[in-house]
Amino acid sequence: MKIVILDGHTLNPGDLSWEAFEALGEVVVYDRSTPEEVEERAKGCDVLITNKAIVSAETIRNTDSLKYIGVTATGVNIVDVDAASERGIPVTNVSGYGPDSVAQMVFAHILNFTNRLAEQVDDVRDGGWIRSEDFCYWLHPLTELRGLTIGIVGLGEIGGAVARIAHGFRMKVIAYTRDPDRESPDHVEWVGLDELFVGSDFVTLHCPLTPETEGMVDERRLRLMKPSAYLLNTGRGQLVNEQALADALNDNKIAGAGLDVLSSEPPSPDNPLLNAKNCSITPHIAWATRAARERLMQMSADNLKAFVEGEAINTVN
């Protein structure tokens, strides 16, 4: 069985092993594949593994040997699932491999805003402490999290991990769910979506990207937020109207935004958030701790192994 990994670099830049896949067949790993390269590289393979490389309907229909497509991520929008289904090719994904890693990044952004750690470290490096007349100083007021309210949009595995950390900081936790009859976890209060934006000191997004949630953080919802509030997005960039958020930041309508995702990645140079005030952006790395990538690697290989043994799991079609 020939296994072609189209874009292995993000999952494994060299610190992990492909041995779990190598135990299942001949493995060919490409660090990256352009759309033009995917179809050529897919020729003659039985298995395609992709993270963000697009597997189009044309590639699926033109690769006669193809029997399986595995996505080393949760979202599968980069695969034409309908075309795969037409040919009886299972498409699998992986979920639940990194909720703690993503939640950790949420609080890295929150603590960056409340403790101003990066700014203080840079100022010490630039001689600020040497020049100080006092034994300590701070560039901005420092904020304690205890008693502040965090609003979680989407309380799945990641949102639940965020809620547990927030409770550890003795924050008030409110959340929005699409299922109003669902029992709320301990220390979490269900609220309406607009109520969440009104009442939160931090709004953090953990809902899936759907036609209903695309652009949900728009000018109207940003106007609901406190001027002292922060928006966090480690979900999908398309959940946010980026121009509306940039305008809100530049006009001091909200205090700041911590983002790990943007609508297009890498972003275009004219993305309005790149130069917006008080906007901290990390390059889609919340998922990428070594521990989470190890789990993702093993779970992806387990999906393929189950297919080889005749019991396909985690299929999306």
Report H helices in the chain. 19-22, 35-42, 57-62, 81-86, 99-115, 117-125, 128-131, 157-168, 193-199, 219-224, 242-250, 290-308
- List the catalytic residue out of 206, 236, 242, 293: 236
- Tokens, residue 119: 């700014």
CA–CA distance, 87 with 100 (Å, rounded to integer): 37
Q: Is the dihedral of CA 246, 250, 253, 257 positive or negative?
A: positive
Query: Is 16:296 a contact under the CB 8 Å cutoff?
Result: no
- List the catalytic residue out of 219, 223, 265, 290: 265
CA–CA distance, 159 with 152 (Å, rounded to integer): 6
CA–CA distance, 163 with 10 (Å, rounded to integer): 28
Residues contacting 2, CB < 8 A, separation 6+ = 25, 26, 28, 44, 45, 46, 47, 65
Catalytic site includes residue 32: no
Catalytic site includes residue 265: yes
- List the catalytic residue out of 284, 290, 293, 294: 284
Catalytic site includes residue 39: no
Q: Which residues are catalytic?
A: 236, 265, 284
